[in-house]
Amino acid sequence: MHSSLTSSGRRPRRRVPALALGALALALCAGTLVAPAQAAPASAPASTEVKPAKLKRGADSSVAYFDGSTLVVGSERIPTNLQGHRTVLGTEADGDHLVSAERSRRTTVARVTPDGEVSVVARIHRPAQVIASSDLNRVVFTTAYRARTVLSVRTVDTGIGILQRSFPGHLQTLAAGPHRVLVSQTHKNRTSTWWWNPTTNRTQHVSNWRGYRADLASDRLALLEGDPYQDACQRVVRLSAPRKTLWRSCADRVDAFGPTGMMATVHILSDGLGPNHVALRRVGGRAVARFHTSGWFGDMVFEGPRALVTYAAGRSQAARIRCLPRGCERISDLEPKPQF
């Protein structure tokens, strides 16, 4: 299963400030990739500007994503009638895709087959954050109210609710395994991160800091040590051993984790349409590549251990791209830069 990408990658809508990806890089003799003009020391790689129009076309991505209401899977384009903010939650073993669509008055989870058949799995009549469990057997709706947040867990096969519970304060669901959900909470100026088991309705403490990004496959959790707008820092830990810090930074934060722990990081205060700088970092935080663009980078997801997929908007044109430490390539046709 691949991590989710939003409908266009153009305007990330996140419960925490939008982190972004930047992209492009070194050159091959064949000219497939764009190279920086000057090599930089391994400890501080030079940032390479991503110009979508200058990138050569690479292989189609194995990561499914939405282009408007059309689901793109490799070279296949599957039209749907889904409206709103669309997200691919995961791809099942039989090739069906679990997706969500959030509108102002309702949120829908649906299954899309390779033949284009769309069937509703579950729906609630409020805007909500949706994540799927790692085995794609359950979905979790997170619905915010004025002073509380409601978590609702449904089965994918039947849409039947397993449990619904209201918690005080603001909650963000970070990830979900087959039997429990990783949640971060802010309530009365106190923060925490914990597991919630919807079967037993019990919680298990993880950290006193607020988690903002997690990946179960790589056993990673990123935590904010406070308000980054008041100079707070962030740290990356193992989810299984959250007291041991793997990397700490007061300048950058994680936008995506790869399956082996590689990170895509952006400036800690990145927000709005998306960041215009991104770095690829190893497990301990050492940057192996840096990219920037004149526009912005959209939502990011790793395609394998080292390849990062994102949407890049340049001066006048945009495209979905794939970046590795050695460089970037285009994985979609060029289109005019979106104007907002």
Return the domain boundaries, the chain: 47-336
Radius of gyration (Cα) for the chain, nearest Å? Answer: 19
How far is Cα 331 from Cα 124, in angstroms, rounded to an integer?
Answer: 34
Domain 47-336 has CATH 3.40.50.300: no
pLDDT tens sequence across 69-126: 999 999 999 999 999 999 999 999 999 999 999 998 999 999 999 999 999 999 999 9
How far is Cα 227 from Cα 121, in angstroms, rounded to an integer?
Answer: 37
Segment 320-338 mean pLDDT:
96
Q: Which of 198-202, 269-273, 300-304, 334-338 has the lowest mean pLDDT?
A: 269-273
Q: Which amino acid appears at position 224 of this protein?
A: L
Cβ contact 133:176 at 8 Å? yes
Provide the pLDDT for residue 27: 29
Its pTM stands at 0.85
Provide the pLDDT for residue 17: 34
pLDDT tens sequence across 137-173: 999 999 999 999 999 999 999 999 999 999 999 999 9
Q: Which residue has the tokens 């019990």?
A: 202
Q: Which of 260, 264, 263, 256 is nearest to 305 (CA)?
A: 260
Arithmetic mean of pLDDT over the chain: 89
**Which pair of structure tokens corresponds to residue 303?**
């395609």
Q: Which of 25-34, 205-214, 265-274, 291-300 has the lowest mean pLDDT?
A: 25-34
How far is Cα 270 from Cα 228, in angstroms, rounded to an integer?
Answer: 10
Provide the pLDDT for residue 340: 81
Cβ contact 249:295 at 8 Å? no
Of the chain, the percentage scoring pLDDT greater than 90 comes to: 85
Cβ contact 255:269 at 8 Å? no
